[in-house]
Amino acid sequence: MLREGQAKPTQRADYQAPAWWIDTVDLTFDLDPAKTRVLNRMRVRRNPGVPAQALRLDGDELNLARVMVNGGGTSFKMDGSALVLENLPAGEEPVELEIFTTCSPVKNTKLMGLYVSEGTFFTQCEAEGFRRITYFLDRPDVMAMYTVTLRADKAQFPVLLSNGNLVDSGDLAGAGNEGRHFAKWVDPHRKPSYLFALVAGQLVAREQRITSRAGKEHLLQVFVRPGDLEKTEHAMNSLMASVAWDEARFGLPLDLDRFMIVATSDFNMGAMENKGLNIFNTKYVLANQATATDVDYANIESVVGHEYFHNWTGNRITCRDWFQLSLKEGLTVFRDQEFSMDLAGTPSARAVKRIEDVRVLRTVQFAEDAGPMAHPVRPDSYLEINNFYTVTIYEKGAEVVRMMHTLVGREGFAKGMALYFERHDGQAVTCDDFAQAIADANPGSELSQRLEQFKRWYSQAGTPQVAASGSYDAAAQTYTLTLRQSCAPTPGQPEKLPFVIPVEVGLLTEDGQAQTVQLLDAAGVARSPAASSLLVLSEAEQSFQFSNVALEPVPSLLRGFTAPVALHYDYSEDALLTLLAQDSDAFNRWEAGQQLAQRIALGAINNPAVIVDANGEIAENLLPERFAQAMREVLRHPTLDAAYKELVLTLPSESYLSEQLEVVDPQRVHAVRETLRQQLAAALQGDWAWAWENHRDSGAYRPDPVSSGRRALTGMALHMLCLDARRSGDAVWPGRAYQAFKDAGNMTDRFNALSALVNSGHPLANDALARFHALFKGEALVLDKWFALQAGATDRGGQILPAVKQLMLHPDFQLQNPNRARSVIFSFCNGNPGAFHRADAGGYRFWCERVLELDAINPQVAARLARALDRWKKLAEPYRSAAREAIARVAARPDLSNDVREVVTRALAD
Ligand code: TRP
Ligand code: ZN
C-alpha cells in the first residue's frame, strides 16, 4: 500500500528523453567536513528533440544558497527536493547556470554523495548520489564534460583527486586561505553524473608506469592510507593484468593518461568504476599473505578487473536509464569471469572458477528468482534503484551474455563487441542495442535467427525448468532426447513464453566412455560426428535425434552450464556415479556428485522415520557406503586438482537444499546436512588424514590456483578431522589444528585452522580466537573475519544468537561501518540459516531490530539485510508465522526509507 506522500515507483515504460542537455560542468569545492561549499557552473541547452519544458534539477539533502542565470538573478521554485527553473530563455542558445549549495559530509552516514571516512573525503554517485552533491539532471543519459577544482586545508587534505587529468595545483593565496591549497582536474571524456568522483585526504600511492600495445604511456596509481602501501602489490598486479587482458582479448585500450584506484574502509558495495578514479572497498584492494586469504586474493583480482573493464562496458558506452543496468553489469561480470578464467590457465582451473560462479548463481540468484523480489534482467519498475543491484542484474545478466557467446562462438562474440563499440561508443544505450549488435555481427547464427525470442531472457523473470527424457533405439542406433521447458509465475508475470535455451550435450556409455555421435539437424541431416553437441531449445517441447549411437547412452546434459536453468533428468544412481567418475566435462562431473549428495540429503529430510533429537542430532547412518566410496575415490584421485576435489567434496549448502523443498524446516535441513558432514568426516577419516599430510605446502606463499587449491583441500581436511575428533573424543587433530593455527605462514592456513576449531566446537577455539584477536587487533579487515567466523559458526543448541549479541557489544564492533555490520549481522542473518531460524523466533526479533536500527543510518545496507527473510513463505511452522510477524513489524513503521519499504512490502504481497 502506498501512503500519502510516499514515493511512487518509476516505470520503464515512462522513459522520456531529457528536455535539457548539460554540455559542460565546472565544479568548485571548498572541502570542509562539517560544511562543504559547492559552486556548480553549467552550460545547459534545450533538447530540440522534445517539446519545451521547465528545467527540473534533482537534489537531495542540499542547502541552496544562490541560483544565477547568465550572470544575473532568476526566479526558481522547489518541488519537493527538486529545483525547478521555469523562466529560462527560450530558443536553442546555451544558458549559463550557476548554483551554489552546501552539504555536510561528516553527517552523511548513507555513504551516498560526498562523505567522510577516517578523515578522508570520498564520493559515491551511482546510482543517484550526485544529486546529494549538487543540483543536476542526475540520470545516465545526460553526459557532460567535467572540470573540477578542489580547495582544502593542505595539512589535513594533502592529496586532492578527481576524474581525468590534473591540469593545475598549488597553494591558495589571499585572506582566509592560509594553509589551504587547490587542485584542478579536467576529464577529457564526456560522462554521466554517476561516474563523477572526488577524493581528498592523507593518502599514499603505489605507482606503476606502463606502455600500451600502441606505445602510449600511462600512469597507474593505487592510493591507500599511509601504512597500507605494502598491501597494494596484488591490486596493482591485477590492474596491470586487466589492462593487458582487455587489449589482448577485446582490443580495448586504456583511454586515459592516468588511472587511479583509491581504497576506503567505509563503502556500501564492493567497488565503483568512476571514470579514471575507481573507488574501492579496502576489502578488494588490501592484501598481504599475513592478512588476506586465497579467496581475498582471487576476489581482488576479479573486482579490480571488473571495475577496470567498466571503463569500456559502462563508461564509454553507458546505460540510457537504470532499467538497463544489466547492460553494463551483466556484460562486465561476464568479462571479469572470463578474465579470471583466462588468468587461471589450465582447463581444470577454469572449471573450478566456472563451478564457483554457477554455485553463486544457483544458490542466491535462483532463490531471488523464486521469491518476492524476482525481477527480469531488465526490470519494468522500481521504487528504489539501489535495491536492483542484484544477483539477477549481475550474475544472471552475465549468463545471458554468456549464452550469446555460446550461440555465436568466441570469434563471433568478439565481432559483435566490435560492432557494439562502432555503433554506440560515447552513447547511453539499451540492452536491446547490445543484443542487436551481437546478432547483426553474426548473420545466420542461432542468435540472429531467434533474436526477438532470445530477448525474453531480458523481459521474463524466473528460472526456467528444463525436463529431459531420452529413448534409445538399439536396432537403429539412434537416441532421441526430449526437452520440455516451463517457468513458474513471478510477481506481475503469471504467464511465460518459451526461452531460447542452449544445451550442450554429450553421450557416454554406461561404463563411462565418450560416444562420438551425430546430431541430426532440423532437416534430418546428420552433422559431423562429435563428442559434444549444442542443442538449441526454443519451443515448449522439442526432440533431438542422434544417430550412430552404438550403445545405450548416459547423457551428460547442460555441460559447462550453458544456460541459467534448472535441469531435471531421472538418472539412476549408477548413471550419476558413472558421470562423477568419468565425464570429460568437469562441470558435469562435479554436478553428478552434487546430485548424489542432494538426493541423500533430501531423502533424509523428507523421511519421517529420520528423527532429529532434542540436541538437533540424528543417530541413524544417513551416508550410503557407495556414496562414501565415490567421494573417497575423488579425494584420493591421482590426477584431479585439489581445488576441484574440494568442490566435489563440499555438500550442497543448506540454502540450496532448502530451495529444492516445497516446505522448509530449517532446523531439520541443518541437522541432516550437519549429520551427513559428520558421517562423511568419520567414513573418510583416514583419507582426510592422508589429504592433510599430502597437500601441505611448505614453499613460499603464492595465491595461484594450484597452491590455493592445496590449501583449500588441507583446510577442508582439517575441518573434517576436527569434526570427527568431536565424535571420537580424540585430542590429536584439534591439537594439530591449534598448532597449525599458531605456526601458519599465511592467513589462509591460519584462518582455516581457526575455523576448524571454532566450527567443530572444540574448547581450544576460545584460546585461538583470543590469540587471533590479539595478533590482528589493528587490522580492520582481519577483525571482520574474526567477527564473521563467530557469527557464521555452526550452531549446536542455539549458542550463536547470544554470541552475536555479545559480539555487538565488543569495543571493536561498529554498526556504522558497513564491513563490520556485515561481518556480524549479515553473517548471522543471511549466512547462518541453522542459527538464524530459531523456534523461539529470537533470530527474527534480532533481524527486525537491526533492520530498523540500520535504516536510520544507511538505508542501502538496511535493505540488503531486510532481504534475509525473502523466502519466509516456504518456511514450516512455527517459523513461517514468526517470520511474517517480524516483517510486518518492520513494514508498520511509518518512517521507513524507500529502500527497506520496497523490500518488506514486496515480501508481504500475495
Ligand atoms: N557499479 C558498481 C559495480 O558494479 C556497483 C556499486 C558500487 C554501487 N557502489 C555502489 C551501486 C553504490 C549502487 C550504489 O562495480
Ligand atoms: Zn559493475
Give, for ligand 1, the residue of 272, 282, 324, 390 to mutate: max count of ligand atoms closer than 8 Å to Cβ. Answer: 272
725 occurs within a structural domain: no
Rounded to an integer, the average pLDDT of 391-395 is 98
Give the model's pLDDT for residue 697. Answer: 80
Q: Which CATH number belongs to the domain containing residue 492 in this structure? A: 2.60.40.1840
- Residues 9-41 pLDDT 10s: 999 999 999 999 999 999 999 999 999 999 999
39 occurs within a structural domain: yes
Do 120 and 191 fall into the same domain? yes
727 occurs within a structural domain: no
Rounded to an integer, the average pLDDT of 443-448 is 98
Give the model's pLDDT for residue 6. Answer: 73
pLDDT at 531 > cutoff 50: yes
Do 133 and 29 fall into the same domain? yes
Do 325 and 402 fall into the same domain? yes
Nearest-CA residue for ligand 1 atom 6 is 272
Active site residues: 307
Cα distances (angstroms) measured from residue 49 to each of 67, 402, 538, 656, 905: 26, 36, 40, 51, 38
Nearest-CA residue for ligand 1 atom 2 is 272
- Residues 344-387 pLDDT 10s: 989 999 999 999 999 999 999 999 999 999 999 999 999 999 99
Nearest-CA residue for ligand 1 atom 5 is 272
Q: How many CA atoms lie within 13 A of 237 on its CB side?
A: 14
437 occurs within a structural domain: yes
182 occurs within a structural domain: yes
pLDDT at 450 > cutoff 90: yes
Rounded to an integer, the average pLDDT of 547-570 is 98
Rounded to an integer, the average pLDDT of 221-231 is 98
Q: Which CATH number belongs to the domain containing residue 37 in this structure? A: 2.60.40.1730
pLDDT confidence of 4, banded at 50, 70, 90?
low
Say whether 71 sits in a helix, a strand or coil: coil
| Distance from residue 329's CA to the centre of ligand 2 (Å) | 5
Instruction: Please give the single-letter amino acid code of residue 243.
Output: V
Domain count, the chain: 3
Rounded to an integer, the average pLDDT of 64-88 is 97
pLDDT at 144 > cutoff 70: yes
| Distance from residue 165's CA to the centre of ligand 1 (Å) | 23
Of ligand 1's listed atoms, the one at least distance from the Cα of 303 is 15
pLDDT confidence of 5, banded at 50, 70, 90?
low
Cα distances (angstroms) measured from residue 298 to each of 303, 702, 715: 9, 12, 17
Do 510 and 547 fall into the same domain? yes
Of ligand 1's listed atoms, the one at least distance from the Cα of 267 is 9
Please give the mean pLDDT across all residues of the chain: 97
Pocket lined around ligand 1, Cβ cut-off 6 Å: 124, 126-127, 268-269, 271-273, 306-307, 329, 386, 389
Residues of the domain holding 158: 10-202
Cβ proximity of 150 and 200 under 8 Å: yes
| Distance from residue 414's CA to the centre of ligand 2 (Å) | 20
Cell numbers 558495495 label which residue?
Answer: 269
- Of the two residues 685 and 2, the one the predictor is more confident about is 685
Give the model's pLDDT for residue 1. Answer: 46
441 occurs within a structural domain: yes
Which ligand sits closest to the CA of 333? 2
Do 469 and 394 fall into the same domain? no
Of ligand 1's listed atoms, the one at least distance from the Cα of 385 is 13
CA dihedral 525, 530, 534, 538 (to 10 degrees): 20
| Distance from residue 385's CA to the centre of ligand 2 (Å) | 14
Do 435 and 479 fall into the same domain? no
Do 449 and 487 fall into the same domain? no
| Distance from residue 818's CA to the centre of ligand 2 (Å) | 19
Do 152 and 41 fall into the same domain? yes
pLDDT at 884 > cutoff 80: yes
- Measured between alpha carbons, how far is 634 from 231 in angstroms, rounded to an integer? 37
Do 370 and 509 fall into the same domain? no
Cβ proximity of 300 and 238 under 8 Å: yes
340-348 contacts, C-beta under 8 A, 24 or more apart = 340/298, 340/301, 340/302, 340/305, 342/245, 342/249, 343/241, 343/245, 343/301, 344/705, 345/705, 346/641, 346/705, 347/586, 348/586, 348/640, 348/641, 348/643, 348/644
* Grid cell locating 174: 589571499
Of ligand 1's listed atoms, the one at least distance from the Cα of 307 is 15
Q: Taking CA 360 as the corner, what is the angle to CA 359 and CA 362, rounded to the nearest 5 degrees? A: 65
Residues 6+ apart with CB under 8 A from 200: 31, 120, 121, 150, 152, 157, 159, 160, 161
Give, for ligand 1, the residue of 131, 269, 325, 385 to mutate: max count of ligand atoms closer than 8 Å to Cβ. Answer: 269
What protein residues have CB closer than 5 angstroms to ion ligand 2? 329, 332
Do 413 and 482 fall into the same domain? no
Which ligand sits closest to the CA of 126? 1
Domain final residue, candidates 182, 202, 222? 202
118 occurs within a structural domain: yes
Do 484 and 344 fall into the same domain? no
β-pairing verdict for 258-264 and 191-192: unpaired
126 occurs within a structural domain: yes
Do 437 and 470 fall into the same domain? no
pLDDT at 3 > cutoff 70: no
Rounded to an integer, the average pLDDT of 105-133 is 98
- Residues 698-754 pLDDT 10s: 789 999 999 999 999 999 999 999 999 999 999 999 999 999 999 999 999 999 999
